[in-house]
Amino acid sequence: MACITISVDKTFKERLTRFSWINWSEIGRAELLKRYLYEKYMKTGKLTKDEEKFCEQIDWHPVDELPIRQEFVKKLDAIRKGSYSKPMKPEQLKQCLREL
């Protein structure tokens, strides 16, 4: 396996050494792989089964990095302003639970 070295200033290195239990190499590998997968997904719209497995393991997908569409923002605003976002009295809550 190839080795990559990065330079950081002294104070940043001191902050990193406080977390000696963290495997910074593994974090760097995962972040570089995420960046690669994001760029690949943006170009092709596809991932291999192994790449999908990696994404599943870290609970991440390239679409997580995309900005939220305005149509979804409008839907979320409508939901927030809807009747179900108003506070309920205990009797109303009991009634809703009975209906389930």
Q: What is the pLDDT of residues 55-67, one digit of tens each?
A: 999 999 999 998 8
What per-residue confidence (pLDDT) applies to 83?
65
Q: What is the mean pLDDT of the chain?
A: 90
Average pLDDT over residues 6-35: 93
In percent, how much of the chain has pLDDT > 70? 96
What per-residue confidence (pLDDT) applies to 84?
63
In percent, how much of the chain has pLDDT > 90? 58
Pairwise pLDDT comparison (97 vs 35), residue with the higher score: 35
Contact criterion met (CB below 8 Å) for 45 and 63: no
Pairwise pLDDT comparison (62 vs 1), residue with the higher score: 62
Q: How far apart are CA 42 and CA 5, in angstroms?
A: 28
Position 51, amino acid: E
Q: How far apart are CA 13 and CA 99, in angstroms?
A: 58
